[in-house]
């Protein structure tokens, strides 16, 4: 797939660079979380692994790579599932395994091969930092999303302390030249391609959408949103206990530093239709 930056080019064959894209168990866990969030927003919650949440819907995974999340979208009942990427090796793997269930397309997110208002659900999960022009991709998703459709977004935060791809603290805080030097110093890569945005920058990127924030609901009630892996082991249980006791105003104050945001966006005003949660989703912005 492909914010304009210093001599940036598209990250082709990303699944060959980042082995996490081929970690099937991890990708399917991410899909379960995505489907659980969508199910709550749509009021189509299911206790059976998400089955039926997307019944009758056309769904597209933008940045699908090897297709594991797209396959789970089929399992959730989507009547038509599409996967789009420029990762050719990933698409080959996806088509070989799931081509009888998912239509995989090699295409750039800035020119999606879909008609206007034609997709009921779009998934854009941890992709924006990799693409050359995320604002253009978001504009395209706005074009193809149905007027009553839903866009799921997993969004990394520039102010998250530990950079998620290279596991180097404060890497995303640095200007490009220093970030390149940092990843080379630790033998991680020749240069740092990714470009993250702050919470404020992400809100600007989605300025044409109505946006709901599911970050705190997932953090506070991970079992409800298939997010148990967020709190694995003793450190995870400690973090969960702290979050359970933390007052809402303090949780909200910490949001600018949360490493990942989970947002749901729509083109027209729409409210979460699921059951009331201990920590409900909060409205982020309006066009």
Cβ neighbors of 128 (< 8 A, separation 6 or more) are: 134, 137, 138, 153, 155, 156, 197, 205
Q: What superfamily in CATH does domain 14-158+196-285 come from?
A: Vaccinia Virus protein VP39 (3.40.50.150)
Least confident span in 69-73, 233-237, 278-282: 233-237
Contact yes or no for 106/91 (Cβ under 8 A): yes
Q: What is the CA radius of gyration of the chain?
A: 18
Residue 47 reports pLDDT greater than 70: no
Q: Which residue has the higher pLDDT, 121 or 1?
A: 121
Q: What are the tens digits of pLDDT across the range 50-84?
A: 778 999 999 999 999 999 999 999 999 999 999 99
Q: 5: closest CA among 111, 131, 140?
A: 131
Query: Exposed e or buried b for every residue in 84-106, given b needs 16+ CB within 10 A?
Result: bbbbebbbebbbeebeeebebee
Residue 198 reports pLDDT greater than 90: yes
Return phi, psi of residue 183, to 5°.
Answer: -70, -30
Contact yes or no for 156/164 (Cβ under 8 A): yes
Q: Give the mean pLDDT of the chain.
A: 88
Query: What's the confidence (pLDDT) of residue 7?
Result: 65
The model carries a pTM of: 0.91
Query: What's the confidence (pLDDT) of residue 2?
Result: 38
Span 14-22, average pLDDT: 69
Query: Degrees (nearest 5) of the Cα angle 176, 177, 183?
Result: 85
Strands 119-125 and 145-156: parallel
Question: What is the pLDDT confidence band of residue 3, given thresholds at 50, 70 and 90?
Answer: very low
Query: What's the confidence (pLDDT) of residue 247?
Result: 77
Span 98-104, average pLDDT: 96
Output the CA torsion sign for 42, 140, 158, 207: negative
- Report the distance separating Cα 56 and Cα 78, nearest Å: 6
Domain ranges of the chain: 14-158+196-285
Q: 253: closest CA among 199, 197, 209, 202?
A: 199
């Amino acid at each position: 797939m492909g914010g304009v930056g210093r001599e940036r080019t598209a990250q082709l064959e990303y699944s060959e660079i980042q082995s996490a894209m081929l970690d099937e168990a991890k990708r399917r866990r991410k899909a379960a979380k995505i489907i659980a969030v969508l199910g709550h927003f749509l009021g189509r919650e299911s206790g059976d692994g998400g089955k039926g949440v997307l019944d009758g819907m056309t769904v597209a995974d933008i940045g699908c790579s090897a297709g594991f999340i797209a396959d789970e979208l089929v399992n959730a009942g989507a009547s038509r599932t599409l996967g789009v990427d420029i990762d050719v090796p990933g698409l080959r793997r996806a088509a070989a395994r799931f081509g009888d269930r998912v239509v995989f397309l090699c295409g750039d997110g800035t020119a999606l091969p879909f008609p206007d208002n034609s997709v009921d659900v779009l998934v854009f999960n941890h992709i924006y930092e990799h693409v050359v022009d995320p604002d253009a991709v978001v504009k395209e998703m706005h074009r193809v999303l149905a007027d009553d459709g839903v866009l799921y977004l997993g969004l990394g935060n520039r102010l998250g302390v530990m950079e998620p791809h290279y596991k180097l603290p404060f890497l995303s805080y640095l200007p490009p030249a220093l970030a390149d030097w940092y990843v080379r110093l630790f033998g991680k890569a020749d240069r740092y391609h990714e470009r993250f945005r702050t919470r404020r920058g992400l809100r600007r990127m989605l300025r044409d959408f109505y946006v709901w924030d599911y970050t705190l609901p997932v953090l506070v009630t991970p079992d409800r949103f298939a997010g148990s892996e967020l709190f694995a082991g003793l450190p995870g249980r400690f973090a969960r206990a702290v979050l359970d006791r933390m007052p809402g105003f303090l949780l909200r104050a910490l949001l600018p530093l949360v490493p990942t945001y989970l947002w749901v966006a729509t083109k027209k005003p729409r409210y979460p239709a699921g059951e009331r949660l201990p920590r409900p989703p909060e409205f982020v912005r309006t066009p």
